[in-house]
Amino acid sequence: MTPLVLSLNPAVDAEWRVREVVPEEKNELVDERRWPGGKGVNVARWLKWLGTEARLFLPLGGVTGDELAAGLRSEKIRFTRFRLGQPTRVNVVVTPDTGPQYRFNPSWPRVGRAEAARLLSAATALAMRSDPVVVSGTLAFGAPSDTYAKLVRCAREAGRRVFLDCDREPFALAAECRPFLVKPNESELAQWAGRPLRTEAALRRAVTALSVRTGGWVLLSRGENGAWLRNTGQGAWLSADAPRVMPRNQVGAGDALLAGAVASVAQSDDPAVWLRQAVATGTAATQVPPGCTPSRKVWRDLLAAVRVTPL
């Protein structure tokens, strides 16, 4: 079956490059790039780069939706478009010459009750014919918070492996439906746990609790500290440090990490292989501009540098 990536809140991503950000003054843009974005789109892009052809399902509306669709066609990413009533959003990344990036994401478009029901029905129909199913990114604004839970439940009952990467209440509800793998970062794990996780011991307890709750794999993204992979039912506890690199960009690194895991699960039964490829791919995303992919040599060198150890 063909893998499916569900991206229910995509965006046109725009990067504004500036020399510096000065408050209360005009900030001159020295460059602008635009490309298809959103977490699910990023996952599909990296899956294609890794040699795993997936179909992307996403709602698109207005001129910006047309722009995003044209960008996907130019990248030769296969997709199914759900016609949305409101225009697709534009996320802005501001990148100074030095210092941190700034990200601005609109809280629109919004779907109404009837449109949300049609969106869920269309996504579920595709999920029934696909494996694995990747549910990635923010839920469409206005859709019921149990939308992802319904998707995961239907896909699981049909015997599909579901990879889940979202946050807040949609994550908590969908995690109860026992997806094959969930990929929180440390902040999202703390949201799920309902408390700050300030120590490594607290993180370990929360990861274990989440694996018990889902009955499956937990891939914890830890940024420059790499990632953990946990499955309590199988007694698996693995850690991988990220190779030490100078990051050029951090947008989409977690999405690349997830894509690395999804692609390797299809190729190997060894969780250590999943984790190694996930961390190498996530690190590779930090070495290129947002929306771009690296050379094969960069990725192979990073893959060789990742060391997986038991926790």
Q: What is the CATH number of the domain that holds 162?
A: 3.40.1190.20
Q: Has residue 98 been placed in a domain? A: no
CA distance linking residue 43 with residue 30, whole number of Å? 29
CA distance linking residue 66 with residue 129, whole number of Å? 26
Q: According to the model, what pLDDT value does residue 251 have?
A: 82
Per-residue model confidence as pLDDT tens digits over 60-79 = 999 999 999 999 999 999 99
Residue 60 makes CB contacts below 8 A (sequence gap 6+) with 10, 66, 68, 69, 81, 82, 83, 84, 88
* Residue 57 scores a pLDDT above 90: yes
Q: According to the model, what pLDDT value does residue 267 have?
A: 92
Q: Has residue 229 been placed in a domain? A: yes
CA distance linking residue 282 with residue 298, whole number of Å? 12
Mind giving me the DSSP string for 86-100? SPPEEEEEEEESSS-
Closest alpha carbon to 18 in 71, 80, 131, 96: 96
DSSP state of 243: P
Q: Worst-scoring range by mean pLDDT, 76-80, 93-97, 200-204?
A: 93-97
Q: Has residue 243 been placed in a domain? A: yes
Which segments of 141-199 does DSSP mark as H helices, in order? 147-157, 168-175, 186-193
CB distance 307 to 240 below 8 Å: yes
Closest alpha carbon to 84 in 66, 96, 102, 107: 66
CA distance linking residue 149 with residue 299, whole number of Å? 34
Closest alpha carbon to 53 in 295, 259, 206: 259
Q: What number is the average pLDDT over the span 281-302?
A: 94
* Residue 49 scores a pLDDT above 90: yes
Q: What number is the average pLDDT over the span 227-232?
A: 98
CB distance 20 to 98 below 8 Å: yes
* Residue 1 scores a pLDDT above 90: no
* Residue 40 scores a pLDDT above 90: yes
* Number of domains the chain contains: 1
Q: Has residue 189 been placed in a domain? A: yes
- Sign of torsion over alpha carbons 191, 195, 198, 204: negative
CA distance linking residue 46 with residue 213, whole number of Å? 29
Q: Has residue 75 been placed in a domain? A: yes
CA distance linking residue 227 with residue 275, whole number of Å? 8
Q: According to the model, what pLDDT value does residue 199 have?
A: 95
DSSP state of 297: H
Q: Has residue 270 been placed in a domain? A: yes
* Residue 264 scores a pLDDT above 90: yes
Per-residue model confidence as pLDDT tens digits over 129-162 = 999 999 999 999 999 999 999 999 999 999 999 9
Range of the domain at 188: 4-9+37-85+109-310
What's at 291, amino acid-wise?
A: G
CA distance linking residue 111 with residue 117, whole number of Å? 9
